[in-house]
Structure 1
Amino acid sequence: MSSNNASSNVVSVDAQAFEQPEAQTEADDGVEVVDETPTFEAAVEQETQAKVDANHPDGIAETSAERIHGVTLEQEERILGREAELEHISARADLGRQDGREERTREVITEQCGRVEPTPDPREQLSQEELADVNREAMRIQDEVDCGWTSAAIARRLAEKVRDGQDVTSAVLELVGELQAVPGAVVPIAKVPEVPVGEVTVQGTVQALWGPSSSAIQQVGLIADDSGKIKFTIWTRSKQPVVHEGQTVRFRAAAKNWYEGRCSIALTGWSDIHFPERGRWWDE
């Protein structure tokens, strides 16, 4: 029995060290044991020699056939970068000496940006007599057609037509028709049936007003200018201001209508009525 108890109490050395760690740091007499194992450090001479050996050509391992023999990786990257920079500078110098470089560059920029080279002014290609006629007619057109174009813009467009072979008279008639079709351009009332657009802007004097034949009509009457007169209808749903006989008004974006071969205009919700001669409240 005693032998069995003795064997059961046997503990391994590792277990004893784990269970009694303090016993390893103290001697039998209670004095603390100090670990005096020396720590080895490299001397200055040894560190210097290690750097020399590491950078020695014989100590560099070849990892690729493309590596530069005898240099470190940092030195190799610096050399390759410098070579690439010199190659780029040389290529730019060769490109700068090529013939037609500016023209090719302009073509590339034009293609990429979608820009078009400015065309020469057609007025420069006319004779002095033709240019004088064009400028005179341009000023007259600007006075007659209120389209927002300057006389210079009108003269340029007119010069293009004359340059292309038209005489001044036919070019003027064609351009006037084009300008009258511009949205917002004031059209002479006599020209309203001829303008190739569905909406026109006219200005004139309210010559007469009649009683509306339907509740859907707010007002109906005649508007006239120096060229002629035309019937107008203001629809109730358009919510336009009321006009009176004798007033000078401008009907903007009035819709053209045809009935029994006669042209008239109607003011809808898309139309506007302006009173050019009505004074501003801050001027009164």
Structure 2
Amino acid sequence: MSSNNASGKIVSVDEQAFENADEQAVDEDGFPVVDETPEFEATVEQETQAKVDANHPDGIADTSNERIHGVTLEQEERIRARDAELEHIRAQAELGTQDDREQRTRVVAAQESKQRRQEFQKRAASVDPWADPERNDPRTELSQDELATVNTEADRLATRMDGWSRAAISRRLAEAVLDGTDTTSAVVRVFEALQTAPGHVVPIGKLDEVNRKEVSIAGRVKTLWSPSHPSIAQVGLIADETGQTRVTIWKASEAPWIAEGEHVRIHGAARNWYEGRVSLAVTGWSTIHFPERGRWWEA
């Protein structure tokens, strides 16, 4: 009986390929086979341009929060920092443009407002020539004697009227004089006009001559009586040296209480008519002041 002591080693295909990797291939005649396939390599200019393209933000697609393909971490950080800087510069440029536009808008609005005011004054000048903005100060057109008289009367009226300066009164007097009114009549005319001017206390006797809805008065509480309606807090008469008027204080106004004999100053009272006579109502828009309350000699 014969025995074969042959030993075999199983070699995989991959291992055989590895072992034969260094062996040069030969053709059927035994001659070495030369690989004539050309190898392509990037030029220096191409490599430089590739680096520039990789580092330029505009050459990179939107990668959102993902890593940028084809660049190192250092390059990616530099690219994202450059993106952030460009975004910051763009935001500053847009904000600067908005601020500049807002400033230009304010300038244009102010110019348009001035133009509208001048146009309004021009139209008003057709009724009152002294409203013309291009007309000189009327006092410059007075003679020396007329100007001296006007200034003297303006000083006297300024002491009798609160809230009006000597310059404003003298200008009004000069306008009246130049319109052909004698000095005495001009003083009366200006005095009555300023008494009923908006924003100033109107004499109670002149309330029926005012064409405004709201007025201000000052006087003493002459008498009070019981209200005729639950919504009325107080009702009575207030008088000054020129006359007296009925005043109704509504509960909704939440105005302070007044007492008979007390001096009061009412601002923003609503003017209306009661039994053919002008009367006033204190509303939520009105205010009542008490000039004599809290005086040291009454403490």
TM-score for both structures, normalised by structure 2: 0.54
Residue 267 of structure 2 aligns with which residue? 252
SS at match of 1:157: helix
How far the C-alpha of 1:125 sits from its partner, in A, is: 2.7
Hey, what does 1:236 align to over in structure 2?
251
1-structure distance, mates of 2:228, 2:133: 59
- The match for 2:227 is 212
Aligned to 2:28: 4
Q: How does 1:1-284 map to 2 (within 5 A)?
A: 3-4=27-28, 6=30, 9-12=33-36, 14=38, 120-146=136-162, 148-279=163-294
The offset of 1:220, in angstroms, is 0.4
For residues 61-111 of structure 1, the C-alpha deviation after alignment (integer angstroms, 9 at most, x for no partner) is: xxxxxxxxxxxxxxxxxxxxxxxxxxxxxxxxxxxxxxxxxxxxxxxxx9x
CA contact (8 A) 1:177 1:195 kept: no
Identical pairs, percent: 50
Q: 3-state SS of the aligned residue for 1:256? A: strand
Q: Greater shift after overlay, 167-176 or 203-212? A: 167-176
**Could you tell me the TM-score, scaled by structure 1's length?**
0.56
Aligned residues, how many?
187
1:143 Cα deviation after fit = 3.6
| Inter-partner Cα distance in structure 1 for 2:233 and 2:243 | 23
Residue 67 of structure 2 aligns with which residue? Answer: none
Kindly indicate whether the alpha-carbon contact (under 8 Å) linking 2:196 and 2:203 is maintained by their aligned counterparts in 1.
Answer: no
Deviation at 1:180, TM superposition (A): 2.9
The Cα of 1:142 is off from its aligned counterpart by 2.8
Q: Structure 2: how far apart are the matches of 1:3 and 1:239?
A: 118
Q: Structure 2 CA distance, aligned partners of 1:165 and 1:10?
A: 126
Distance 1:175 1:117, change over 3 A: closer
Deviation of residue 13 (structure 1)? 8.1
- Letter of the structure 2 residue corresponding to residue 241 of structure 1: P
**Is the 2:177–2:183 contact (alpha carbons within 8 Å) kept by the matching residues of 1?**
yes
1:208 alignment partner, SS class: strand
What is the RMSD computed on CA atoms of the aligned residues?
Answer: 3.3
Residues 187 and 257 (structure 1 numbering): CA distance in 2 closer, same or farther, change over 3 Å?
same
CA distance in 2 between counterparts of 1:205 and 1:243 reads 10
Distance in 1 (CA, whole Å) between partners of 2:147 and 2:160 is: 20
Aligned amino acid, residue 141 of structure 1: L
The residue type paired with residue 227 of structure 2 is P
The structural deviation recorded for 1:135 is 2.6
Listed one character per residue, the Cα deviations across residues 197-231 of structure 1 (whole Å, up to 9, x for unaligned) are: 22211111111111111111111011111111111
Change (3 A) 1:163 1:6: farther
Q: Which runs of 5+ in 1 are unaligned?
A: 19-109
Matched residue SS, 2:28 = helix
How far 1:132 moved relative to its partner?
A: 3.9
